[in-house]
């Protein structure tokens, strides 16, 4: 079986390690993998060890003959790089910006199509998209989700247009957890998609209140959106500046400018952030993000609001903030800061949950089953 995994620039950079693990795992099972990523990302990735890497242009018009021509060009370059004319059996799309191109490649290759719906805000778009597809020319279409709640909400709306497949992303759990800092400084990461002061102020305010008697805190924050503008770089740059301004406004309001550091593209350069003690998630984004899973698996305490579309964050794996106000955040953070036994219990429990339920090997096994389902549908036509 030959699989084309196509990712947009956001996921190609942020989830590079997850895609690499998937590549290796699929190769071990005899699947020949081709990665298609935007040219700007291909330059950073270099040649694949277990896969062929090809670049594509992710800017420009995304409909009609333009998409058809772009798909044909990419298919030809895959064949040239692979030195083979064997067909692509399944196209696996990561990122909203890849859907139309992936569907056209699947149509031209008579291949199965899998679309990752990796965040709750994409559900409606995914349902509308599969209804729009000409299913007579794409035999097998699957929507891949990471949460049962998302699968349930989509099933009735999609009908027979596509199969719903659960394949939660997974990570490797290190042999030993990261030890909590023993000095006078507490390292705190903060990952915010919205960059909205309405969610950042309560989180930072609660942290300030919980640590007013010590320890000293250093906050490393990323307010990058998970879904950048695809067609207008200037708009994307402007939205980034707006989100960053929200962070600085919140820090200034709370008198924490000297304790907050902007850490852009935290997920693409995640090694430093995995050395912090605590990770704050100011809002419930309903997104799969392996940085959060890696933090849990490393023993870092994750603090955030309940999220039905990211149920792996719960009382066993982190600290849940019941209300969106500074007092609730302070109470949640304080409950573990002053209790070493509670800190250790949550850390150990989180590592167990990630190892048993969100492992990289389980993700690979789920993806293989998904490939078999859509390729089987294609072969049967």
Least confident range of 243-252, 326-335, 343-352 = 243-252
Mean pLDDT of 17-21: 93
Convert the pLDDT of each residue in 139-174 to its tens digit: 789 999 999 999 998 988 888 788 999 999 999 999
Mean pLDDT of 54-80: 84
CA–CA dist 51, 31 (Å, integer): 10
pLDDT at residue 284, as a whole number: 93
Q: How far apart are the first and last CA of the chain?
A: 17
Q: Is 194 in the same domain as 342?
A: yes
Under the banding of pLDDT at 50, 70 and 90, the label for residue 235 is very low
pLDDT at residue 265, as a whole number: 86
pLDDT at 231 over 60: no
Mean pLDDT of 317-340: 95
Q: Does 176 fall in a domain?
A: no
Under the banding of pLDDT at 50, 70 and 90, the label for residue 234 is very low
For residues 331 and 13, the model is more confident at 331
Three-class SS state of 293: helix
pLDDT at residue 325, as a whole number: 94
- Bridging pattern class, strands 163-166 and 112-116: unpaired
Q: Does 299 fall in a domain?
A: yes
Q: Is 45 in the same domain as 123?
A: yes
Q: Is 127 in the same domain as 243?
A: no
CA–CA dist 150, 126 (Å, integer): 11
Q: Does 71 fall in a domain?
A: yes
Three-class SS state of 5: strand
Q: Does 331 fall in a domain?
A: yes
Q: Is 15 in the same domain as 135?
A: yes
Q: Is 196 in the same domain as 61?
A: no
Q: Does 144 fall in a domain?
A: yes
Convert the pLDDT of each residue in 281-323 to its tens digit: 999 989 999 999 999 999 999 999 999 999 999 999 999 999 9
246-255 contacts at long range (C-beta below 8 A, 24 or more positions apart)? 246/195, 246/196, 246/197, 246/200, 247/192, 247/195, 247/197, 247/200, 247/221, 247/223, 249/197, 250/197, 250/200, 250/201, 250/204, 251/204, 253/197, 253/201, 254/201, 254/204, 254/205, 254/208, 255/208
Mean pLDDT of 174-200: 86
**Residue range(s) defining the domain that contains residue 264:** 185-357
Q: Is 147 in the same domain as 238?
A: no
Convert the pLDDT of each residue in 347-381 to its tens digit: 999 999 999 999 999 999 999 999 999 987 655 55
Q: Is 348 in the same domain as 363?
A: no
98: nearest Cα among 65, 132, 135, 126: 126
| Number of domains making up the chain | 2
CA–CA dist 38, 56 (Å, integer): 5
Under the banding of pLDDT at 50, 70 and 90, the label for residue 218 is very high
Q: Is 250 in the same domain as 327?
A: yes
For 58-99, give the DSSP string: --S--SHHHHHHHHHHHHHHHHHHHT--PPP-EEEEESGGGH
Least confident range of 245-249, 258-262, 277-281, 287-291 = 245-249
Least confident range of 52-56, 67-71, 96-100, 131-135 = 131-135
**Percent of the chain topping pLDDT 90:** 64
pLDDT winner (highest mean) among 42-46, 82-86, 177-181: 177-181
Q: Does 180 fall in a domain?
A: no
Three-class SS state of 307: coil
Q: Is 335 in the same domain as 370?
A: no
pLDDT at residue 63, as a whole number: 66
Q: Is 6 in the same domain as 142?
A: yes
CA–CA dist 4, 34 (Å, integer): 5
pLDDT at residue 104, as a whole number: 93
Q: Is 24 in the same domain as 151?
A: yes
Q: Does 175 fall in a domain?
A: no
Q: Is 250 in the same domain as 268?
A: yes
pLDDT at residue 50, as a whole number: 67
pLDDT at residue 103, as a whole number: 94
- Bridging pattern class, strands 185-191 and 216-222: parallel
- Give the phi and the psi of residue 33 in degrees, each rounded to 5: -110, 135
Mean pLDDT for the chain overall? 88
Q: Does 31 fall in a domain?
A: yes
CATH classification of the domain holding 373: 3.40.50.2000
pLDDT at residue 233, as a whole number: 46
Mean pLDDT of 3-27: 93
pLDDT at residue 377, as a whole number: 63
Under the banding of pLDDT at 50, 70 and 90, the label for residue 226 is low
């Amino acid at each position: 079986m030959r699989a084309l995994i196509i990712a947009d620039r956001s996921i190609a950079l942020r989830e590079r390690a997850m895609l690499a693990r998937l590549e290796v795992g699929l190769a071990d099972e005899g699947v020949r993998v081709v990665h298609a990523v935007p040219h700007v990302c291909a330059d950073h990735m270099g040649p694949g060890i277990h896969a062929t890497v090809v670049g594509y242009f992710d800017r420009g018009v995304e409909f009609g003959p333009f998409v058809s021509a772009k798909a044909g060009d990419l298919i030809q370059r895959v064949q040239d790089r692979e030195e083979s004319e064997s067909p692509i059996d399944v196209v696996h799309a990561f990122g909203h910006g890849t859907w139309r191109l992936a569907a056209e490649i699947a149509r031209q290759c008579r291949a199965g199509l899998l679309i990752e719906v990796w965040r709750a805000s994409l559900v409606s778009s995914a349902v509308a998209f599969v209804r729009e597809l000409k299913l007579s020319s794409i035999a097998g279409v699957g929507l891949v989700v990471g949460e049962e709640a998302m699968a349930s909400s989509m099933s009735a709306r999609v009908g027979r247009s596509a199969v719903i497949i659960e394949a939660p992303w997974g990570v490797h759990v290190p042999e030993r957890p990261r030890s909590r800092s023993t000095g006078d400084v507490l390292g705190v990461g903060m990952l915010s998609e919205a960059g909205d002061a309405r969610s950042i102020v309560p989180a930072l305010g609660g942290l300030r209140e919980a640590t007013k008697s010590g320890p000293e805190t250093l906050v490393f924050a990323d307010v990058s959106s998970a879904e950048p503008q695809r067609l207008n770089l200037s708009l994307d740059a402007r939205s980034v500046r707006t989100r960053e301004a929200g962070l600085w406004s919140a820090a200034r309001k709370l008198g924490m400018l000297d304790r907050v550091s902007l850490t852009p593209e935290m997920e693409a350069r995640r090694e430093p952030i995995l050395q912090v003690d605590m990770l704050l998630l100011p809002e419930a984004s309903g997104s799969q993000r392996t940085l959060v899973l890696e933090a849990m698996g490393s023993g870092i305490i994750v603090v955030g609001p309940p999220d039905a579309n990211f149920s792996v964050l719960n009382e066993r794996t982190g600290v849940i903030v019941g209300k969106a106000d500074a007092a609730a955040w302070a109470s949640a953070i304080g409950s573990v800061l002053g209790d070493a036994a509670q800190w250790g219990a949550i850390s150990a429990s989180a590592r167990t949950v990630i190892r048993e339920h969100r492992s990289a090997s389980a993700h690979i096994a789920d993806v293989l089953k998904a490939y078999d389902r859509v390729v089987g549908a294609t072969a049967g036509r």
